[in-house]
Structure 1
Amino acid sequence: MATAIETRRSFLHFDPSHEMSEAEIERLVSLAMLSSTPGNTQPWRFVVVRDLTLRKELRAAAFDQAQVTDASLLVIVTADPSAFQSDRERYSPTAGPETSKVVANSMMQFYTGREWLQRDDAVKSTGLAAMTLMLAAQDLGYNSCPMGGFDIDAVGRRIDLPETHVVSMFVTIGKPVSDAWHRGGQLPIGEVIVRDRFTHA
């Protein structure tokens, strides 16, 4: 996995002729679904877009970025912040009925009246899932690109996004036809590690 992390880059230009099988797509999404979420609430909803006409419309909403139509796979990662309320005990079926009820009740107590926290945690969860999706793609011999440069409202209309859901990001996956940009360089590790607490001058 370290190799996948070290070699993963964001590619902008993909081979539009390359097709992914349904088995590959389901494998990638199933791996992404192993990402962590609070209380295992799994608020992500992966919109896998294969319709070419819709892809063109989404490309227009993404300021004509070519990877939206040219990548083998376009996944719109969305979140349902209210997922914890729906059939709550299904989120821990292997834990047994009593533990499942305890987890469900704790999630209700934690989120009720805290809509901002529901949304924040749902979006955090989709970020973890998107990263897992990209690393899984890398491990399976594909390349990817996370995307945030698009008209969120226009995208929501194009995919008939439920009012309770939010769009988190796009992830495009495929076979690149050109190299990724050189890495911009990471900050010194001493600048990003904080030991115990922040110090103020």
Structure 2
Amino acid sequence: MQVKEAIQQRRSIKHFDTNHMMTEKEIHELLSHAILSPTAFNIQNWRFVVVTDKALRQKIRSVSWGQAQVEEASILIVLVADLMAWNKEPARYWKDAPKPVQDYLVPAIQQYYEGKKEVQRDEAMRSCGMAAMNLMLTAKSMGYDTCPMDGFDFDKVGELLNLPSDHMPAMFVCVGKGIKEAMPRGGQLPLDEVVIQNQFK
């Protein structure tokens, strides 16, 4: 499938085949493409919690407004932001780069993030959003459907996943075989309403 086709065909699906299971190989393929998404300074500040445990999925559904896709999709991926990834052995993010690049970028990471909690959070959330798009487009190219979500209690999900104190949930992506098509698109705004040439007037 071409990238443009995947973009056009990807829809947020709410109803999944509860009997379908993804193979470990498929899940690995999906996540291997998710981690090719960009992150500032290559700090790779996303984490992917793949939830397959039925009892845990049921608990997560209970703090997600009872939304069925949380429990019924083949897998639930919780994208989690590691807010302190910038400070966890940052040299490893550039271990394969030429030494002059390492010498420049590794110290720059600390200079950019240290003491800036809002920047740490915003960057991590942006990173998770881009990774989620990679997940969804890869899933569509593999013949799977997805549903991105933020309709859940963030604190309670964090507790259920036993997240470290420097991690926070960003969003869910449910992945599986859809059994009911999405409703027709609600209506896209025209380009001339959302694209601004150079400056707002």
* Separation in 1, partners of 2:93, 2:102: 7
Q: Residue 153 of structure 1: CA displacement?
A: 0.9
Q: Residue 102 of structure 1: CA displacement?
A: 2.0
Q: Is the CA contact (8 Å cut-off) linking 1:89 and 1:101 kept in structure 2?
A: no
Aligned-residue identity in percent: 45
Q: Is the CA contact (8 Å cut-off) linking 1:111 and 1:118 kept in structure 2?
A: yes
Q: CA RMSD in A?
A: 0.9
Summarize deviations over 1:170-190 as a string: whole Å, max 9, x none. 100000111111111110100
Task: Give the structure 1 partner of residue 157 of structure 2.
Answer: 155
Task: Give the structure 1 partner of residue 110 of structure 2.
Answer: 108
Q: Which of 118, 125, 128 does residue 126 from structure 1 map onto?
A: 128
What is the letter of the counterpart of residue 20 of structure 1?
M
* Separation in 2, partners of 1:100, 1:66: 46
* Separation in 1, partners of 2:89, 2:132: 25
What is the letter of the counterpart of residue 130 of structure 2?
L
Q: Which of 20, 26, 30 does residue 18 from structure 1 map onto?
A: 20
Q: Number of aligned pairs? A: 199
* Separation in 2, partners of 1:177, 1:148: 22
Q: Which of 59, 69, 72 does residue 71 from structure 2 map onto?
A: 69
* Separation in 2, partners of 1:80, 1:56: 25
Task: Give the structure 2 partner of residue 43 of structure 1.
Answer: 45
Task: Give the structure 1 partner of residue 148 of structure 2.
Answer: 146
Q: Residue 139 of structure 1: CA displacement?
A: 0.5
* Separation in 2, partners of 1:154, 1:146: 18
Summarize deviations over 1:119-172 as a string: whole Å, max 9, x none. 100100000000110000001110100011011111011000111011100100
TM-score by length of 2: 0.97
* Separation in 2, partners of 1:123, 1:35: 13
* Separation in 1, partners of 2:80, 2:99: 29
* Separation in 2, partners of 1:75, 1:62: 14
Structure 2: gaps of 5 or more residues:
none
* Separation in 2, partners of 1:136, 1:191: 30
Structure 2 SS opposite 1:197:
coil
Q: Residue 63 of structure 1: CA displacement?
A: 1.1
* Separation in 2, partners of 1:134, 1:12: 14
Which 4+ runs in 1 deviate beyond 4 A? none
Task: Give the structure 2 partner of residue 9 of structure 1.
Answer: 11
Q: Is the CA contact (8 Å cut-off) linking 1:72 and 1:173 kept in structure 2?
A: yes
